[in-house]
């Protein structure tokens, strides 16, 4: 088998077949902010070099378009918030914080009041203080000139105005605490809430925790029922990890918040408490503060969902799931518990999947299409294509105008080797575009790339170039140019193909790397493995710690039968990066294919499979080494499973060999005929067909 087809797809995105787990698509954010927006951290270890586009980033077509990516990935925005808070709370060896905790505060969202503009100046405060209620609303109907001429009288006296001026001057001249003292004095005497808020801002800018707390305490004293004062206090206590004080403030805040705003306030709490250093203690504090609301008929489901999200942030998955199940029990139509369970399922928590699956399998599905779509994306992100296709098929039947589902279904079917179905899905997706509902250029480009790759696979090269020529999205232009070069190679225009990739931009390190790898791929397709090796040796020499480049170099050595060099490179990768499972698989397979070091080869492949248990190509490697060891029944079972997961031509070739060895000649013949329908370009498949039809030939 061609080991170049076992390269980690996380490398460069322009050379590999289009995969369902590398799509991007827009997905509305859920109310809890739970759904992941990042691409998959690592792809499936198949050696074809690189994946197209973003991984789920599916925000999982995994990351969702420009705004997300279920690459489906932990807890999305919340996970990012957690990571940010963890890094900001880290300390050096002396115990001194590397970043002031107040520097991480960002007062955004339903819980936090909007930040006022800084340094408004005395004239601003004079006008605001004297403004009558609803005056600004009434002024909307007035003539603009009249509005410009209108000046509100201020309740501030001359002394206060003078103190405000001095306070602002001191603040702007780099003495914020001196200025704060003057500003706070005026705020206390005037009782102006906007001035109190400005004082908090000045204190936060100076990184003075005590000053910020003094301001909020004075603010709460002057306005005991002020929501903004309590909101600021809560944020500051959390940032300082004074969680007991935060609990007391939160309890008061809940009592003060109007009923119509309480749900939004509750949903925003996990994001705020994610800033705490001690996530477990934060979860306990939040649970204690919300205890009186757990049994509320109107708020109970939101409370339990909020607690579940906080437990998930604290990496307490069992507690998170228990909270989600309780939330669902209180309100079966609530969507938040399902997002919570989906985040857990994405972390491969079986109990979460068992809870969520029956709900998602209802026909018709009562939940929003975005929820079902995200559920399918989790399946795709974890290489469970069969389940993902099943969910997407039902989704497209119930919501035929939901374009993203068709895009993903096409890619999942292509992954399964169902090219005709994939083409139909992609074309259906493109047909949904109207003037009123335009499709994004990036998503259309992904469909065009898929259709082009499908045409190339069938040997319809002009059709492939037609689809590639329709790509307008600048983010995928490089991908399209590389694919064009590969097609030109197949059309017998090698120099034109190489000139095309040489002209690719190289103005950034990543762009230069992509350009080199494209040249390597073109050289490989031309059979010029010495040129491919020279390019890789130069690139790897410039970046000796780049595991992906090193892996490609190892594969080039393997192709030239320089096994000692290959072994040295791959072992260096596994020493440096013990979780780089593609290197274990490649080394084990290269030995198995040559019938050498078979037991050691099997151990390496098993180790890779432990890290990627659903990877069909690693399963194929294991089946092949079992075949070489003479374990025919074991090899047959493993290869059948691998082919069921992905009907790839190379896997089919191995399975046919093993079928013949087991006396299943008729089944092998049928399999090869089926595989030849999938692709007409696989050299491995052609060699196997020729060999199995030649008497006395051996694999």
Give 661's contacts (C-beta < 8 A, 6+ positions apart): 627, 632
Whole-angstrom Cα Rg for the chain: 31
Tally the domains of the chain.
2
| Bond from prior residue into 10 cis (ω within 30 degrees of 0) | no
Whole-angstrom CA distances from 188 to 156, 171, 215, 341, 417 are 12, 18, 9, 48, 72
The 10s digit of each residue's pLDDT in 76-90 is 333 333 333 344 444
Residue 464 lies in a domain: no
Give rounded-to-5 percent helix, strand, coil for the chain.
65, 0, 35
Integer Cα distance of 166 and 161 in angstroms: 9
Start-end of H helices in 331-460:
336-346, 350-360, 369-381, 385-398, 403-415, 419-431, 441-457
Residue 536 lies in a domain: no
pLDDT above 80: residue 175: no
Provide the domain limits for residue 170.
Answer: 103-126+156-239
Residue 485 lies in a domain: no
> What pLDDT is stored for residue 143 in this prediction?
54
The Cβ-side half-sphere exposure at 255, using a 13 Å CA radius, reads 10
The 10s digit of each residue's pLDDT in 176-204 is 777 788 888 888 888 888 888 988 888 88
Report the pLDDT averaged over residues 407-419: 89
Residue 275 lies in a domain: no
Residue 688 lies in a domain: yes
Instruction: Give 47's strand partners.
Output: 6
pLDDT above 80: residue 523: yes
Q: Tell me, what CATH number does 661's domain have?
A: 1.25.40.10
| Residue 407 near residue 375, CB atoms below 8 Å | no
pLDDT tier for residue 145 given thresholds of 50, 70 and 90:
very low
Domain final position from 223, 239, 255: 239
Integer Cα distance of 506 and 504 in angstroms: 7
Q: CB neighbours (10 Å) of residue 385?
A: 23
Residue 501 lies in a domain: no
State the SS3 of 544-573. Answer: CCCHHHHHHHHHHHHHCCCHHHHHHHHHHH
Domain final position from 191, 219, 239: 239
DSSP structure string for 110-161: SSSPPPPPS---HHHHHHHHHPPTTHHHHHTTS-HHHHHH-----S--HHHH
pLDDT tier for residue 681 given thresholds of 50, 70 and 90:
low
What is the pLDDT of the chain when averaged over all its residues?
79
Does the reported pTM lie above 0.85? no
User: Judging by beta carbons within 10 Å of its beta carbon (0-12, 13-18, 19+), is residue 2 exposed, middle or buried?
Assistant: middle
> What pLDDT is stored for residue 146 in this prediction?
52
* Helices (H) then strands (E): counts for the chain: 35, 0
Answer positive or negative: Cα dihedral of 290, 294, 299, 302.
positive
Residue 280 lies in a domain: no
pLDDT tier for residue 172 given thresholds of 50, 70 and 90:
confident
State the SS3 of 245-295. Answer: HHHHHHHHHHHHCCHHHHHHHHHHHHHHHCCCCCHHHHHHHHHHHHHHHCC
| Residue 70 near residue 79, CB atoms below 8 Å | no
Q: Tell me, what CATH number does 218's domain have?
A: 1.25.40
Helix (H) or strand (E) holding 217: helix 209-222
Q: Which residues of 422-449 are buried (b: 16+ CB within 10 A; e: fewer)?
A: bbebbebbbeeeeeeeebbebbbbbbbb
> What pLDDT is stored for residue 171 in this prediction?
73
pLDDT tier for residue 140 given thresholds of 50, 70 and 90:
very low
pLDDT tier for residue 699 given thresholds of 50, 70 and 90:
low
Domain final position from 239, 255, 275: 239
Q: CB neighbours (10 Å) of residue 335?
A: 18
Residue 518 lies in a domain: no
Residue 593: name the closest of 553, 556, 565, 559 by CA. Answer: 559
Give 458's contacts (C-beta < 8 A, 6+ positions apart): 419, 679, 680
| Bond from prior residue into 364 cis (ω within 30 degrees of 0) | yes
Q: CB neighbours (10 Å) of residue 537?
A: 14
> What pLDDT is stored for residue 31 in this prediction?
31
């Amino acid at each position: 088998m061609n080991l170049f087809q076992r390269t980690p797809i996380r490398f460069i995105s322009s050379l590999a077949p289009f995969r369902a787990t590398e799509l991007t698509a827009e997905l509305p954010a859920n109310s809890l902010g739970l759904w992941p927006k990042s691409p998959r951290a690592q792809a499936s270890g198949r050696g074809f070099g690189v994946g197209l586009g973003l991984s789920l980033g599916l925000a999982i077509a995994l990351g969702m378009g420009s705004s997300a990516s279920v690459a489906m990935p932990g807890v999305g925005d919340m996970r990012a918030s957690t990571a940010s808070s963890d890094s900001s709370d880290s300390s050096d060896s002396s115990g001194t914080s590397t970043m002031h905790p107040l520097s991480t505060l960002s007062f955004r969202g339903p819980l936090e009041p909007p930040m006022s503009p800084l340094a408004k100046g005395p004239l601003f405060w004079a006008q605001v203080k004297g403004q009558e209620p609803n005056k600004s609303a009434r002024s909307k109907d007035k003539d603009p000139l009249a509005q410009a001429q209108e000046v509100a009288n201020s309740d501030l006296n001359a002394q206060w105005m003078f103190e405000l001026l001095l306070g602002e001057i001191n603040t702007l001249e780099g003495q914020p605490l001196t200025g704060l003292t003057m500003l706070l004095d005026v705020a206390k005497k005037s009782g102006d809430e906007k001035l109190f808020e400005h004082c908090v801002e000045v204190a936060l800018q100076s990184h003075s925790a005590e000053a910020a707390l003094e301001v909020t305490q004075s603010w709460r004293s002057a306005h005991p029922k002020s929501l903004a004062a309590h909101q600021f206090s809560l944020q500051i206590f959390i940032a300082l990890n004074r969680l007991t004080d935060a609990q007391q403030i939160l309890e008061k805040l809940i009592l003060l918040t109007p009923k119509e705003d309480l749900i939004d306030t509750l949903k925003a709490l996990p994001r705020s408490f994610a800033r705490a250093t001690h996530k477990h203690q934060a979860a306990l504090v939040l649970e204690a503060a919300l205890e009186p609301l757990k049994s509320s008929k109107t708020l109970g489901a939101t409370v339990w969902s909020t607690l579940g999200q906080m437990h998930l942030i604290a990496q307490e998955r069992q507690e998170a799931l228990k909270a989600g199940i309780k939330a669902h029990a209180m309100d079966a139509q609530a969507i938040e518990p399902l997002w919570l369970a989906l985040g857990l399922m994405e972390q491969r928590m079986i109990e979460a999947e068992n809870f969520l699956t029956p709900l998602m399998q209802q026909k018709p599905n009562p939940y929003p299409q975005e929820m079902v779509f995200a559920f399918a994306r989790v399946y795709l992100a974890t290489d469970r294509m069969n389940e993902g296709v099943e969910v997407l098929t039902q989704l497209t039947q119930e919501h035929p105008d939901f374009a993203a589902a068709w895009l993903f279904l096409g890619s999942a079917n292509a992954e399964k080797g169902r090219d005709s179905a994939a083409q139909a899905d992609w074309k259906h997706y493109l047909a949904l575009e109207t003037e009123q509902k335009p499709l994004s250029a990036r998503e259309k480009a992904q469909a065009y790339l898929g259709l082009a790759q499908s045409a190339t696979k069938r040997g319809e090269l002009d059709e492939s170039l037609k689809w590639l020529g329709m790509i307008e999205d600048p983010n995928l232009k490089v991908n399209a140019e590389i694919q064009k070069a590969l097609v030109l190679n197949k059309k017998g225009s090698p120099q034109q193909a190489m000139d095309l990739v040489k002209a690719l931009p190289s103005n950034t390190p990543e762009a230069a790397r992509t350009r080199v790898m494209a040249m390597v791929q073109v050289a490989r397709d031309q059979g010029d493995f010495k040129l491919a090796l020279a390019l890789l040796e130069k690139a790897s020499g410039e970046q000796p710690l780049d595991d992906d480049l090193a892996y490609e170099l190892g594969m080039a050595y393997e192709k030239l039968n320089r096994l000692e060099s290959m072994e040295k490179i791959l072992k260096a990768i596994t020493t440096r990066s013990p979780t780089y499972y593609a290197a274990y698989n490649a080394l084990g397979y290269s030995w198995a294919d040559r019938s050498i070091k078979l037991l050691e080869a099997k151990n390496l492949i098993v180790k890779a499979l432990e890290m990627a248990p659903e990877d069909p190509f690693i399963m194929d490697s294991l089946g092949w080494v079992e075949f070489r060891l003479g374990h025919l029944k074991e090899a047959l079972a493993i290869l059948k499973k691998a082919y069921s997961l992905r009907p790839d031509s190379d896997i089919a070739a191995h399975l046919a060999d093993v079928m013949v060895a087991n006396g299943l000649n008729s089944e092998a013949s049928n399999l090869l005929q089926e595989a030849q329908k999938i692709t007409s370009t696989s050299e491995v498949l052609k060699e196997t067909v020729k060999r199995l039809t030649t008497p006395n030939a051996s694999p």
